[in-house]
Chains A and B, each alone.
Chain A
């Protein structure tokens, strides 16, 4: 049916008003001769509206005469009529053709060059090298040799490990991957000092000289391994040689110590918890010249208690021209406050969990937990709050390198 409609459009069809006494006979005669009619509508006691193909109009004259009816065409629809009208409006046709041509022509240039993946190399640097290699806004697409531009970028910027250029539409995207260089390999002499207070459990010196021994208590900032090494002779004091110079090295080593942490945690017996319910509503607004107009979605938040995310679309622009229109999408998320009730035992456990969590958050992965002690803090008053103190004992490397001159 749909295909027939398209065919009718291509061939052209007309709407016409038929007036007469024996309209049924008119329809029967026409259809029996193979003329297709559709959308027949009665518009008056002796008038009907008919649609038929252009090819059927001529033989209808004969039928109309025989049935004593008259018709006139009221509407011409379809491609042949459209073309006919276009032929009379030459300038408009020319304009349409020019427009299509301009669209095609302009789309054969690169208009935007974008860079991503660079962290150390400057965007401007990449763009200027690409420009020298022939990729710049305004370059025609078939002139740009993507492989060559890539090669030139790789040659001129040795820090680039890989570069890929993708031209999509009028946009060229340069993706780079930078080489990872080893940084801060400072071999100047250094000490290792304590970062935290603790009880030294083991000392492993790779280079330098240990200052503390197992069992020592150290304070933050205290020297653990020194990079200043004096010759043995002096230490022994046996055969003192004047004018001895110490040797300076970069200290390396591990000093494991037992470290104690303390954290306080509290949990009320009745706690108000605010959480998102998952229901959300979106709003789209347009900002033009300082005015904000809501285009779609809720005007205000439909929820009593809510959080909202505002997302502003990046402005379109080219060179120093920007479109002064911003699209702002706001998402309202419904929130709800519920009261969580728990007994003392549950609250105690939760308080401990929270305290431990806030403790371990700051610790690195390779810290070994040895021991955990929980103390309930009593204030003497009766209150709906459980307070705990958690003492955590860990074994960890407390050394921190510090360079000296």
Chain B
């Protein structure tokens, strides 16, 4: 575990030095919010829960949950998800 921690810190340092985008170097998800109507999640690992009120998506580290009303999965592919609807909140776990 400690080894992993050291590795991640080193990676971030290198990424900062070379100004490489975080999602490339650190395997972070790229999340784009378009107002409160659309959220675009890149680099995901699948969905855990989908209802009209909540969408939970697995990330490389942890999970993101989108809360809202009338949520629709506009598009779903291997590494990107597009959720549309009336978005009320976004939280990480």
The residues of A with any CB-CB pair to B shorter than 8 Å are 23-24, 27-28, 31-32, 34, 36-42, 48
Contact = CB atoms under 8 A, between A and B. Distances in A.
A6 to B, nearest CB: 16
A139 to B, nearest CB: 57
Interface stretch (B5-13, B25-33, B48-56, B59-67): B48-56
A31 B74 contact: no
Contacts of B71: 42
Given A23-B50, A38-B74, A39-B74, 12 more contacts: A24-B46, A24-B50, A27-B47, A27-B73, A31-B77, A38-B75, A40-B50, A40-B72, A40-B76, A41-B72, A41-B73, A42-B71
13 contacts: A24-B50, A27-B46, A27-B47, A27-B50, A31-B77, A36-B75, A37-B73, A37-B75, A38-B75, A39-B74, A40-B50, A40-B73, A42-B51
Contact of A31 (B46, B49, B51, B52): B46
B48 A31 contact: no
A31 B75 CA distance: 10
Contacts of B52: 41-42
B76 A37 contact: yes
A24 B72 contact: no
A43 to B, nearest CB: 9
A36 B76 CA distance: 7
A32 B49 CA distance: 16
A232 B74 CA distance: 113
A24 B48 contact: yes
B76 A38 contact: yes
A42 B54 CA distance: 11
A31 B76 contact: yes
